[in-house]
Structure 1
Amino acid sequence: MVDSLMRSFKGPEIRTGFLKDGKPVQLKKGEEITVSTDYDLKGDGKTITMSYKKLPVDLKPGNFILYAVGTITLTVLSCDQAAGTVRCCCENTAMLGERKNVNLLGIVVDLPLIY
């Protein structure tokens, strides 16, 4: 019973934000990108947003951020807690759309369960 009950709860969810003109952006391998926790900002090829406010607190240089079921990987270069931003290097070339899922490898996120 506990097993079936646990499967009915969704874990913490982090998503990317909206993009300028609602159009996907191409992230290119080797390029630097800023991830902002300002969810009101419209992303572009240089800055994207994320719904997790504690991102620059919980991440450290060398951590990985996976987007869109792992089709995009970013390596954290630096974190600016005051600005609410994380500077990253893109590890592959891919298109990023709006409201895509995000996974923070090896990070315990401080988000409530969704019932």
Structure 2
Amino acid sequence: MIAAGDGPWLDDAAGRLIRPYTVSNGRTRPSTALDLLSQVMATGTTPLGTLGPEHAEALGRCAVPVSVAEVAAHLKLPAVVTKVLLADLVDCGALTTKPPAFHHNPTDRSLLEAVLDGLRRQL
């Protein structure tokens, strides 16, 4: 695996030298509905066909259940690009997805209070 700043595609001063839309082949909509808090996990199935290095890195991050937002942060890619990559992996059977636990009530007061408490502890 190439470390940050190594190789021809990264530059410490300029950052990523490839535009995000080239990573997703210009696609802006994933084929699978994914929320930022959706959980994704590798199935153990080897994807068929040719996938880019970002696909491989995303798949490597999904050995345990992880949110789409976390994968995007680790890949340092916009969430929409990450959703397209993850949807590709779901389509080929390499990933499974699960909606967030609070999918039916995203404004649950106890959940929002827990998030607020966690943010306060971080500050």
TM-score w.r.t. structure 2 length?
A: 0.27
TM-score w.r.t. structure 1 length?
A: 0.28
Q: Which has the higher helix share?
A: 2
Work out which structure has the larger RCO, using CA pairs closer than 8 Å and 6 or more positions apart in sequence: 1
Which structure has the larger Rg over C-alpha atoms? 2
